[in-house]
Amino acid sequence: MSTYQASVPPAGATCQSDLCRSTAVVRLTVPPQRFTADGIPPDAREVVTWDSCDLHWPAFRDVCVRSGHEVADGTGDLGVLATESPKWDIWRSDLGRYYASTVLPNGNGTTVDAYLIGRLRTEMQAVETTEVR
Ligand SMILES: [Zn+2]
């Protein structure tokens, strides 16, 4: 049991699921095990990354969690983002997707969503930048 780190994949990264070459939205980094089954410390090069698109990520994440692994979002802290954004309602779905909703000065509501907190923050900032114009 270990903690997997979710992060933003590099530009141009594509989904590694079978036959899928869609743009990846999440990179999961699996840390090396402390010891292998043989008791031999593994090589640090064994760190594995896996890129997923928005279609394949929820199921892949679910498999990781069901296997007893924790998936940590290394791109931000949801509590910090909520504190910094009092005009936004922020929540997370059971599938691990984050949502942020706000009411614009013109009275219309808008909602943005993302699988990573850092990406959600970017989407929220894009709305606020547009709002000021
Ligand atoms: Zn995919």
Distance from C-alpha of 5 to C-alpha of 73, rounded to nearest angstrom: 6
Residue 57 CA to ligand 1 center (angstroms) comes to 7
Element spanning 50, H or E: strand 48-52
Q: What is the pLDDT of residues 13-43, one digit of tens each?
A: 999 998 999 999 999 998 876 655 565 555 5
Residue 74 CA to ligand 1 center (angstroms) comes to 21
Its sign, for the CA torsion 96, 22, 113, 75, is: positive
Say whether pTM exceeds 0.85.
no
Residue 10 CA to ligand 1 center (angstroms) comes to 15
Least confident interval from 13-27, 39-53, 64-78? 39-53
Residue 21 CA to ligand 1 center (angstroms) comes to 6
Residue 51 CA to ligand 1 center (angstroms) comes to 8
Q: Give me the pLDDT at residue 132, please.
A: 57
Residues 74-83 have a mean pLDDT of: 94
Q: Give me the pLDDT at residue 35, please.
A: 57
Residue 125 has pLDDT above 80, yes or no: yes
Residue 76 CA to ligand 1 center (angstroms) comes to 24
Residue 7 CA to ligand 1 center (angstroms) comes to 16
Q: Give me the pLDDT at residue 31, please.
A: 81
On whether the CB atoms of residues 58 and 97 are closer than 8 A, the answer is yes
On whether the CB atoms of residues 115 and 52 are closer than 8 A, the answer is no
8 or 96: which leads in pLDDT: 8
pLDDT band at 95; cut points 50, 70, 90: confident
Give percent of the chain above pLDDT 70: 86
Residue 121 CA to ligand 1 center (angstroms) comes to 23
